[in-house]
Amino acid sequence: MRCSEIMNILETLSPVAFAEKWDNVGLLVGRRDKTVHKVMLALDATDDVVEQAVLQGADLLLTHHPLLFSPIKRITEDDFVGRRLYKLIRNDICYYAMHTNFDVMGMADAAADAMELLNPEVLDVTYEDEIANEGIGRIGRLSGKMSLSETAELCKKAFSIHSVRIYGDPASEIETVAIVPGSGKDYINTAILKQADVLITGDIGHHNGIDAVEQGLAVIDAGHYGIEKLFVTYMEDFFADQIPELLVLKASQNEPFYIL
């Protein structure tokens, strides 16, 4: 199957038009007419992931986070971005990124489903037309009221993570949950305005957390990677259903840090 044909299928799932203006999604490296037999999935195009793609003979590397955000003036092995790009080009590997367009059409619903939220709605609308409103994050109700600590345990189980950070009284009552996979500190005020009891997200700083609690919003920081790694399993299932003839590989990738 041609890379361009795969792109059409991916962009039916997560249209490029849903991406934020600052984002950089779509085909970032490679030939549209490249014949693709093997696809490698990963959250990030790190040195190690690109090397895995080369060693396993992948024709297409598909990640959530784009390797390229800003224009570059040269592609050499003198810096880490150029090194990765050079290796992809040299080995004729196409590279495609699905970032905020997937956050809107894919990631948010998958995260809400994992938490078994009832009647989830868009938390922050970023795209509107005559058919629907779409956007970042979801807000919905738990199947029953539970404590903040119980909600955190549910989050750990839902996303298969070992630990979370909690801001707020562990015994406080939770019913309405806002969830923003990735970095969600910018959505704290939105979650408060929509009367969420807790925001589940990642990359919460010290002041973000304590200020949210002062305004009546608990926060569960499940980590950026902790929630967004569901991209890989989601896309694995998507390919199995939509393009079963492709061989889909999952890069070996873990949390980018250790807790001692």
Residue 250 has pLDDT above 90, yes or no: yes
pLDDT the model gives residue 130 = 79
Residue 88 has pLDDT above 90, yes or no: yes
State the chain's mean pLDDT as an integer.
96
pLDDT the model gives residue 32 = 98
- Going across the sheet that includes 118-128, the strands are 118-128, 133-147, 173-183, 198-202, 218-221, 165-167
DSSP line for the chain: -BHHHHHHHHHHHS-GGGS-TT---EEEES-TT-B-SEEEEESS--HHHHHHHHHTT-SEEEESS-S--S--S---TTSHHHHHHHHHHHTT-EEEE--HHHIIIIIHHHHHHHTT-EEEEEEEEEEE-SS-EEEEEEEEEEEEEEEHHHHHHHHHHHHT-S--EEES-TTSEEEEEEEEEEE-GGGHHHHHHTT-SEEEEE---HHHHHHHHHTT-EEEE--HHHHHTHHHHHHHHHHHHH-TTSEEEE-----SS---
68-82, 116-130, 229-243 — most confident range:
229-243
pLDDT the model gives residue 132 = 78
Tens-digit pLDDT profile for residues 103-137: 999 999 999 999 999 999 999 999 888 777 899 99
Dihedrals phi, psi of 24, to nearest 5 degrees: -140, 95
pLDDT the model gives residue 24 = 97
pLDDT the model gives residue 148 = 98
Residue 70 has pLDDT above 90, yes or no: no
The residue with greater pLDDT, 257 or 115, is 115
Tens-digit pLDDT profile for residues 174-221: 999 999 999 999 999 999 999 999 999 999 999 999 999 999 999 999
pLDDT the model gives residue 259 = 81
Residue pair 171/149 in contact by the 8 Å Cβ criterion = yes
Residue 256 has pLDDT above 90, yes or no: no
pLDDT the model gives residue 257 = 83
Residue pair 180/199 in contact by the 8 Å Cβ criterion = yes
